C-alpha cells in the first residue's frame, strides 16, 4: 500500500496549473508538484520517489502531453496518466497512447474530484 500518493500536474497555463494543484492538495491532502512544461515534468518523473499519478495538458512546451504520456507508459506502465485538453478529439489519441482517463477543458471541479476518487483514493487505498 502506498501511504502518500504523489501527483504531478503539467499545464503551461499558470492559472489552470495552480488551481489544479491547490484543489488536489486540499481535497486529498497529497503532495502535488506543478510543472509548466513536459520536459521538466519528465525529468522529475524519472527521479527516485517520484509521482504515482500524472495529470497533463496536451499542449505543453518542450514536450507535449502526448509525448509525456507515451514516455511514462513505456517506462512506468503502472503509473496513472490523466490527459487534459480543450480539444475533444484528443481523447481518442490519449486513449490509444494508454491514458487512464481524459479530462475535457474547461472541466468542472466535480469531474476532477471523480478522477481523484477513482485513481488516487480508491486505487491506492485498495492496493
CA 9/CA 37 separation, integer angstroms: 10
Given this model, what pLDDT does residue 3 score? Answer: 58
**Residue-range domain boundaries for the chain:** 6-126
Say which residue, 81 or 110, is predicted with more confidence: 81
pLDDT tens digits for 40-89?
A: 999 999 998 889 999 999 999 999 999 999 999 999 999 999 999 999 99
Query: Could you say which architecture CATH assigns to the domain 6-126?
Result: 3-Layer(aba) Sandwich (3.40)
Amino acid at each position: 500500500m502506498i501511504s502518500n500518493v504523489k501527483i504531478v500536474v503539467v499545464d503551461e497555463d499558470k492559472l489552470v496549473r495552480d488551481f489544479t494543484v491547490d484543489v488536489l492538495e486540499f481535497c486529498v491532502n497529497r503532495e502535488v508538484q506543478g510543472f509548466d512544461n513536459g520536459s521538466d515534468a519528465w525529468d522529475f518523473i524519472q527521479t527516485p520517489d517520484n509521482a504515482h499519478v500524472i495529470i497533463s495538458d496536451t499542449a505543453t512546451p518542450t514536450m507535449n502531453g502526448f509525448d509525456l504520456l507515451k514516455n511514462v507508459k513505456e517506462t512506468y506502465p503502472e503509473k496513472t496518466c490523466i490527459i487534459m485538453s480543450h480539444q475533444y478529439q484528443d481523447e481518442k489519441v490519449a486513449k490509444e497512447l494508454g491514458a487512464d482517463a481524459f479530462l475535457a477543458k474547461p472541466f468542472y471541479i466535480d469531474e476532477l474530484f471523480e478522477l481523484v476518487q477513482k485513481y488516487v483514493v480508491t486505487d491506492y487505498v485498495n492496493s
